[in-house]
């Protein structure tokens, strides 16, 4: 697995909006990711963090959790559907965190072993000053079959 600095660089290079929003990886282990976002870059006219920034942050966090858990996919992971629920305004820096549970990993790995494709639902919590401000649920599709395109390969030159 890539180290935190390499993964941060990869994220900015392949999803430039993450850099534009100032998303910073705090933790990235197999299936467990934490991101933070600066308030000043993501604030809106109400003095809170823009909902679209929160949605992108949660999507990126969940995608990275899948990516770190299923490295054999080499980034060939897409979001199929998602839902976010905003619970409270975020008036300062926010943190997104998610963790893939063992039973989710096992179920997805079973699909990958049988068909080279799997799907997994990931929950992500966004918090501000340790208060939950939003919850996200995203379903991701993973493809581990070899393809003729290397556009998702981390080692592309």
Tell me if 77 is assigned to some domain: yes
User: How big is the chain, counted in residues?
Assistant: 157
At 145 the pLDDT is 87
- The model carries a pTM of 0.89
Establish if 153 belongs to a structural domain: no
Evaluate whether residue 123 is within a structural domain.
yes
Q: List the chain pLDDT tens, one digit each, 157 residues.
A: 568 999 999 899 989 999 999 999 999 999 999 999 999 999 999 999 999 999 999 999 999 999 999 999 988 999 999 999 999 999 999 999 999 999 999 999 999 999 999 999 999 999 999 999 999 999 999 999 865 344 444 444 3
Query: Which range marks the domain in which residue 91 is found?
Result: 4-143
Q: For residue 146, what pLDDT is reported?
A: 67
Which element (helix H / strand E) includes 16? helix 16-20
Q: What is the CATH number of the domain that holds 137?
A: 3.10.129.10
Domain assignment of residue 156, yes or no: no
User: Would you state the structure tokens that stand for residue 86, as one six-digit string?
Assistant: 């905003």
Element (H, E) at 9: helix 4-14
28 within domain boundaries: yes
Residue 54 CB neighbours (<10 A): 25
Q: Which residues contact 45 (CB under 8 A, 6 or more apart)?
A: none
Q: Specify the number of domains making up the chain.
A: 1
Tell me whether residue 150 is in a domain.
Answer: no
DSSP state of 121: E
pLDDT at 75: 86
């Amino acid at each position: 697995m890539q180290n935190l600095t390499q993964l941060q660089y990869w994220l900015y290079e392949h999803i430039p909006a993450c850099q534009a929003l100032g998303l910073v990886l705090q933790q990235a282990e197999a299936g467990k990711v934490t991101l933070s976002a600066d308030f000043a870059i993501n604030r809106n006219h109400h003095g809170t963090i823009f909902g679209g920034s929160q949605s992108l942050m949660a999507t990126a966090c969940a995608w990275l959790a899948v990516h770190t858990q299923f490295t054999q996919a080499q980034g060939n992971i897409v979001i199929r559907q998602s839902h976010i629920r905003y619970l409270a305004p975020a008036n300062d820096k926010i943190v997104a965190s998610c963790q893939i549970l063992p039973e989710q990993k096992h179920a997805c790995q079973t699909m990958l072993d049988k068909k080279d494709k799997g799907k997994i639902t990931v929950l992500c919590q966004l918090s501000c000053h340790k208060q939950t401000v939003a919850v996200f649920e995203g379903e991701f599709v993973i493809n581990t079959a070899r393809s003729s395109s290397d556009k998702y390969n981390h080692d592309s030159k």
